[in-house]
Structure 1
């Protein structure tokens, strides 16, 4: 299934994208997509519905983030071999974990608002994992059984905030609109081999990132298992799995986003995003 949320910010409705590309209204069938609303049991109840009988939304308008909210917005850093090389870092021996604040969540086509003081705004296309069941110290063999689905996330980063002020990376990752997510939450049966998905970013039509999830140092299976060694993952938690090479910080000379720049992000089977940078 491809699940989405449509409508004005703060008043989105749950929907399903059918095989003909039509949005069908899941209101009354599904709760909003957050927490237990994306548990494996909740998704099974949606599957059991005759989705073809649901009303078609002629004009869905704005597409919101595919999750209404996230309790935990978790991230893995330096998880693509070529990205680690471009930053001058040694590929890590264990996953590098950090977080984005949940308040940065935004829609896949919403504007990205540059915060005051921002000089080095950067893009990061990432595969997002949405957890579908309580997950505590799960084995790698069983880890994928806890996944509700996958989505695109742009881990928007302000490199000055991230690197010049000490401490954790979180402060450079968390401003409002720094978490475009969606357009769809796609269930694993439609994704297939999650370690063979092409992903890319263009800025103003120029390709900046072009890679494949087969370059990930730690796989989805390994990430979910590893995180669950240290924390209980819950339905609706969102995990960003790292970005490939081609970020602005890694280019020579470095390139950062300006007001009016347009980013387009794509991942096979997960759709695409289009966001414009605007001033505060």
Structure 2
């Protein structure tokens, strides 16, 4: 089942069901107005949404319309919890080298998470608006899961049961802001602008064998200005799978339905597959030649992130964004 959120005058948009081939959709608000509310009532709502999905895929849903990714929000335009991990330690090793920071041994045994801003995500076709190019704009292509209510102290074995939806995302980062911010000892904040998620969120069964119950085993493909940046496989070199990340996040608190947990930038130790962020590519260049050659994102640049199944079909739809300069406009 594939779910999306149409843009409306409401901050939470309206829930739609999308066909498996991403060509058609149908209004699902008669079942539940928004995806956030659906997740809060998943045991009741999910069977009804799945029945509607089955009818849509069979060409039997009344009121079906063409699915247009220009018209959708991120599946959850806002939620109560967004925390991002760093499950691919090859990426963490490289970006730490880039800012002359050591890799603590603890990171190889204990998952790392930061709590991101969840009050305002941007749509998969919305521009990345940043005030200053000098902040060092970068993309980070990742995979994320969405949970139902997760109890505090949940075991790794039980955590997998709470994974209800899967998405991909672009976790925009400001590389030149990060060092000073992290030096304060309080973590990321202004160096992590609004995140964009894929046009649709999918239930794990949509991935068939590509979902092994703990992670997605498919390449995540990123382009910048139409040029391939990389296609690292999300199922390879993942030190901490999603059940482990969920269990870690719920160590000392409950997670409410709609909580999103990200994998961190997908990165493989086989560097021939390329990268999912520019800073990683830049660090590989520095290690090989002594200098970083690839520029970070500039205004006007375009970013595309997508994942394809074994048949070459887009699973989540594409995140397709342009970098634009933001200018503050005082409220009237």
TM-score past 0.5 threshold: yes
Determine if contact 2:2/2:20 at 8 Å carries over to the other structure: no
* C-alpha distance in structure 1 between counterparts of 2:324 and 2:176, whole Å: 18
Residue 19, structure 1, aligned to residue 20, structure 2: yes
- For structure 2, list consecutive stretches of 5 or more residues without a partner in the other structure: 268-274, 286-291, 309-314, 327-332
Aligned length: 276
Pick 1 or 2: higher relative contact order, CA cutoff 8 A, min separation 6: 1
Residue 221, structure 1, aligned to residue 243, structure 2: yes
Determine if contact 2:135/2:177 at 8 Å carries over to the other structure: no
Residue 122, structure 1, aligned to residue 138, structure 2: yes
* C-alpha distance in structure 2 between counterparts of 1:274 and 1:255, whole Å: 19
Give 1:9 deviation, angstroms.
6.5
Q: TM-score under structure 2 normalisation?
A: 0.76
Give 1:45 deviation, angstroms.
3.2
1:211 to 232, 241, 244: 232
1:19–1:59: structure 2 CA closer, same or farther, 3 Å change rule?
Answer: closer
Q: Secondary structure at the match of 1:164?
A: helix
2:188 to 169, 194, 202: 169
1:212-250 CA-to-partner distances (Å, cap 9, x unmatched) read 122211011211122121221111011111102432223
Residue 248, structure 1, aligned to residue 278, structure 2: yes
Q: Secondary structure at the match of 2:119?
A: helix
Give 1:111 deviation, angstroms.
0.4
Query: What is the CA RMSD across the aligned residues, in angstroms?
Result: 2.2
1:39–1:130: structure 2 CA closer, same or farther, 3 Å change rule?
Answer: farther
Residue 28, structure 1, aligned to residue 47, structure 2: no
Corresponding residue number in structure 2 for 1:262: 302
1:132 to 148, 156, 176: 148
Determine if contact 1:163/1:172 at 8 Å carries over to the other structure: no
Corresponding residue number in structure 1 for 2:119: 103
1:267–1:19: structure 2 CA closer, same or farther, 3 Å change rule?
Answer: closer
- For structure 1, list consecutive stretches of 5 or more residues without a partner in the other structure: none
1:48–1:170: structure 2 CA closer, same or farther, 3 Å change rule?
Answer: same
* C-alpha distance in structure 1 between counterparts of 2:204 and 2:67, whole Å: 27
**Structure 1 or 2: larger helix share?**
2
Determine if contact 2:84/2:263 at 8 Å carries over to the other structure: yes
Residue 44, structure 1, aligned to residue 47, structure 2: yes
**Structure 1 or 2: larger strand share?**
1
Higher-Rg member (1/2) = 2
Q: TM-score under structure 1 normalisation?
A: 0.89
